[in-house]
A = this chain, B = another copy of it.
Amino acid sequence: MKALMTGAVAAVLLASTAVQAQMKPEEMVETRQAGYQFMSWNMGKIKAQVVDGKEPYDQAKVAAAANAIAAIANSGMGSLYSPDTTTEQLGKATRLKPEFFQNLDEAGQIGRNFTAAANQLAKVAAEGDQAAIKKAFGDVGGSCKSCHDKFRAD
């Protein structure tokens, strides 16, 4: 594996080795799924208020939702990904394709794009311009999708 890692991705994975060592593969999967589920709930609130207009716009709530997404994105979720936590080892307990670890440069770039998009969403949500929030929300969703399309099993 190590020969495939380069630059920032290798640094992130190596830096997280100590914490990884304390978690079982199943715990890593459950924890990252919890993070994504909680982000999804908050994305749904922003969508309902700013994109679909199904809920009245409440700037404080949208900002709080965006903050939760950004803080989760910045919390070091990379340490919850190890090569023994894919569909290959865990079957239906996860949807992470083994290909993730054969394309770590791309996976790392997708992760950095996601974090940057989440930070931008939190920034514009704090400012309150709904058009900017809608744009930033779309960019976060796009970064989610780029990883799902590439590395998430159906």
Contacts and interface: CB of A to CB of B under 8 A. Distances in A.
Copies per complex of this chain:
2
Chain A contact residues: over half helix, strand or loop, or mixed? helix
A126 to B, nearest CB: 12
A27 to B, nearest CB: 9
A65 interface: yes
A7 to B, nearest CB: 18
A86 interface: no
Interface residues of A, number: 27
A5 to B, nearest CB: 20
9 contacts: A31-B37, A33-B34, A34-B35, A34-B38, A35-B38, A64-B75, A64-B76, A67-B74, A68-B72
